[in-house]
Structure 1
Amino acid sequence: MKITEFLKHNFKHFNAAALIDAAEGYKTHLDNNGKMMVTLAGAMSTAELGISLAEMIRQDKVQIITCTGANLEEDVFNLVAHDYYERIPNYRDLSPEEEQDLLNRHMNRVTDTCIPEMEAMRRIEDVILEEWMRADQAGEAFFPHEFFYKILLSGKMDESFQIDPKNSWLLEAAKKNLPIIVPGWEDSTLGNMYAGHVISGDIKNVHTVRSGIEYMMFLAQWYTENATEDSKVGFFQIGGGIAGDFPICVVPMLHQDLQRDNVPLWGYFCQISDSTTSYGSYSGAVPNEKITWGKLGLDTPKYIIESDATIVAPLVFAIVLDQ
C-alpha cells in the first residue's frame, strides 16, 4: 500500500483529517497554477526534513523558501558531519553535570540530537569565511543563502559529504537557484561567527552579508512579479516564529505601505504547529486572525494542523508527491 493510500484510509478525524485536507489543498493550489512558499522554523534541518523537502524541490512543488538562519546552516552541518552527530534518546533525564560534559566535548544539543562543533560548525566556518572575505575585499555583498549556494556549488566540499546529497534540501535549492528568505540571520551560529569576524577586523564592511530589510525588499519584488490572480502564491508554514511572521507580512506591506492595488492576498495557508492558542501568541493564532491584518482573505483555503511538524510535514509532502 502506498503511503498516500494508507493515510487516506486511516486518517479520518481531528488533526489526522486536517493533515489530509491540507495536503489535498496544497495539491489543488498547485494544480490551479499556483506557487508555494514553505517556511521552516524550529530545528527542521536537524530533524532531517531534507529527506522529503529535497524531493519536493526537485519536483517543483516549492517555489520559494523562508527559513531561520539555524535551518539554513544546519542542513549543511548535517551534510558534512552526519557521522559525528550523537543521538541522546534519554535527553529528558540528563543532569546538569551531563549537559556540562556535552559542552566540554563540544557537542551542542538540540533536543535528542547533538551537533558536533568542530566537525560541523567550524568546518563550515572555515569554508564560508573565504567567501565572506573574498566578497568583502571585492566590495561585493550577497545574501546569507547566496554564500551557501557558492560553497555548495563550488564542489570544494563534495568529498566531505556524509549523507546522500539528494537528501540535502539546501543543495537541491542551490541547483535550482531557488529564492530563499532568511530573516534574522544574525540569530544563528554562523551569524554570530560573522559578527566576530567583523569585530576582529577580518571583514571590514559589516554589509558584506546583506540584511533582513533587503530580504523584505527582495521578497516584495519577487511577490509582485510572481503573484497574480491566475497564479497565486500559497503559504505552507512549519512552526511559528520569524520564519512565518516575516514573509507573510509582505502582502499588507505592499497594500498598506506602498499603496499598491491589484496585489493578490496569499492564495493558500497552512500552519503545522504545536503552539497552544492563547492571548497574544501569534504562533498560536488561528488563520482567521490573519484576515484582520490583510494577509488572508475570506475565501483563502486555510488549514491548521496542531501536531509535531517532524511527523506531519513528511506525510503531507508524501501526499503532495503522490508517494
Structure 2
Amino acid sequence: MKKRGPVSQFIEHNFRHFNAAALMDAAKAYEKHLDEGGKMMITLAGAMSTAELGVSLAEMIRQDKVHIISCTGANLEEDLMNLVAHNHYKRIPNYRDLCPQDEWELLENGFNRVTDTCIPEEEAFRRLQKHIYKLWKEADAEGKRYFPHEYMYELIRSGVLEQYYQIDPKDSWMVAAAEKNLPIVVPGWEDSTMGNIFASYCIKGDLKPSVVKSGIEYMVWLADYYIKNSSGKGIGFFQIGGGIAGDFPICVVPMLYQDLEMENIPFWSYFCQISDSTTSYGSYSGAVPNEKITWGKLGIDTPKFVIESDATIVAPLIFAWILGQ
C-alpha cells in the first residue's frame, strides 16, 4: 500500500460526506486512473495562477501526474507575472468592503484587482511585455509562427526572466511545464493581457496576426494528440472551474467521432469538475456530468465527480493525495 503523509491521512480520516466525500472519491479515482496507465488533462479557468496554484500544481507536473493542460491565456501569463513581480503584489483581505472610489484609487496606483489580490501593472505586465515582444518580432522577421505557450516557454528557457524572479521557481507551474515541455492548449488566448497587447501591435502594423497560431490550430493539434494518446486506459479530464478552458478541449471527442467519423474513438475516461457554480438553467459550468453523455463526451461508465467548492481549497488537497503528502 502506498505510504501516506499527514495531509492525506487527515483527508482520509475526516472527509467522509457531501463535498468532502466527493473530494476523497475523486482523488482515489484519479490515482487509480494513473496507476492503470491512464493520462490526465487538467484544465485551469478563473484566476488559479494568481491564486498561486503553482505551489502544488508544479510538483504534480514534475512527478508526471498531469500530462497535458488546457488553460486560459490569463492563467498562462499570470503564473509568470507572479514569478517576476510577486513582491509588488498587493493583498486586500477586506476586498468585499471596497467602494467604487477605492477601486478607482487602485487603478490610479497601477493595480488590477483579482478578488483579494492586486496585480501590479508596471512590474508584471510591462516586465513581460518587453521580452515577449522581442520574440514576436524575431518570429515575424523570420516568417515563423508559434503557439502562445511556446513563446512563454521560450521566455523561461532563455533565462531573461531570471533577473526578476521573486518566488522560488519550483512554485511556478509554468517553469515546471517548460522543463517538461508539457503539452498545453490555450483556447481564446486573445482574451488575455498579452493577447490584447499583441493585438495592439497588430493594429499599429508592427506585427502580423499570423505570428501567433490560432485557436483552430490548437484544436487541430489537440485532435492529433488525443488520437495518439487515448488508447488503453485513455485520458482523464480534471476540470478546475468552467469556461473555455474546459469547454474547448472536452469537445475534441465528439468532433473526432461525429465530424471526422472516427467511430472507435474512446470517450474521456475520467471526469472531475471542481466548481462553485450550482446547477442552473443553461449554465455549462453548472451542468452535471451526465449531461455530457448526450453530447458524446463521456460514456455511461466513465467515473464522474463534481465537487461544489472553492478550487483554491480543493485542488491542493487532491494534489496532496495524488502526491502522497
Conserved? CA contact 2:41–2:67, under 8 Å = yes
Q: Say if 2:142 is the partner of 1:138.
A: yes
2:116 aligned partner: 112
Which residue does 1:101 correspond to in 2?
A: 105
1:166 corresponds in structure 2 to 170
- What is residue 16 of structure 2 aligned with on the other side? 12
SS at match of 1:270: strand
Q: Report the 3-state secondary structure (helix = DSSP H, G, I; strand = E; otherwise coil) of the residue aligned with 2:167.
A: coil
Please name the residue that 1:274 is paired with: 276
| Whole-angstrom distance in 2 between the partners of 1:69 and 1:236 | 18
Give the aligned partner of residue 287 of structure 2.
285
Asked if residue 57 in structure 1 is aligned to residue 61 in structure 2, the reply is: yes
What's the % identity of the aligned pairs? 67
Q: Runs ≥4 in structure 1, deviation > 6 angstroms? A: none
TM-score normalised by length of structure 1: 0.99
Q: Once the two structures are superposed, what CA deviation does each residue of 1:204-236 show, in whole Å capped at 9, x if it has no partner?
A: x211000000000000000001111x1300000
Q: 2:29 aligns with which of 25, 28, 35?
A: 25
Cα distance in 1 between the residues matched to 2:102 and 2:308? 33
Which amino acid in 2 is paired with 1:16? A
Mapping of residues 187-202 of structure 1, within 5 Å: 187-202=191-206
Q: Does the Cα contact within 8 Å between 2:41 and 2:235 map onto a contact in 1?
A: yes
The letter of the residue matching 1:216 is: M
1: CA distance, partners of 2:192 / 2:320: 30
Give the C-alpha shift of residue 261 in structure 1.
Answer: 2.5
The correspondence for 2:250, drawn from 245, 248, 251, is: 248
User: Alignment partner of 2:300: what SS?
Assistant: coil
Give how far 1:276 is off. Answer: 1.2
Q: CA deviation at 1:11?
A: 0.6
Match of 1:314 in 2: 316
SS of residue matched to 1:108: strand
C-alpha separation in 2, matches of 1:62 and 1:153: 21
User: Deviations along 1:214-264, whole A, 9 cap, x unmatched?
Assistant: 000000000001111x13000000000000000000000000000013211
3-state DSSP of counterpart to 2:50: coil
Q: Does residue 261 in structure 1 map to residue 271 in structure 2? A: no
Partner Cα separation in structure 2 for residue 181 and residue 283 of structure 1: 19
Cα-to-partner distance string for 1:115-136 (whole Å, 9 max, x where unaligned): 0000000100001000000001
Provide the C-alpha distance between the structure 2 equivalents of 1:159 and 1:126, rounded to a whole number of angstroms. 14
* Contact 2:76–2:174 (CA under 8 A) maintained in structure 1: yes
Residue identity matched to 1:6: F
The answer to whether the aligner puts 1:90 opposite 2:94 as a matched pair is yes
> What residue identity is the alignment partner of 2:108?
N
- Once the two structures are TM-superposed, the CA of residue 143 in structure 1 deviates from its matched residue by 0.2
TM-score, normalised by the number of residues in structure 2: 0.98
**Of 217, 222, 231, which aligns to 2:220?**
217
2:220 alignment partner, SS class: helix
Task: Give, in whole Å, the separation in 1 of the partners of 2:122 and 2:90.
Answer: 13
Distance 1:322 1:122 in 2: 39
Counterpart secondary structure, 2:221: helix
Letter in 1 for 2:251: C
Matches within 5 A, 1:141-156: 141-156=145-160
Within the candidate set 66, 69, 77, 1:73 is matched to: 77
How much has 1:279 moved relative to structure 2?
1.3
Letter of the structure 2 residue corresponding to residue 317 of structure 1: F
Confirm or deny that 1:234 pairs with 2:236: yes
1:38 aligned counterpart, secondary structure: strand
SS at structure 1 position matched to 2:236: strand
Preserved contact between residue 33 and residue 233 of structure 2 (Cα < 8 Å): no
Tell me which residue corresponds to 2:131. Answer: 127
Q: For 2:161, give the aligned amino acid.
A: M
Does 2:182 align with 1:178? yes
- How much does 1:159 deviate? 1.7
User: How far did residue 156 of structure 1 move?
Assistant: 1.2
Following the alignment from structure 1 to structure 2, what is the Cα–Cα distance between the partners of residues 284 and 28? 26
Quick check: 2:237–2:269 contact (8 Å CA) kept in 1?
yes
Corresponding letter in the other structure for 1:105: N
How far apart, in 2, do the equivalents of 1:96 and 1:134 lie?
42
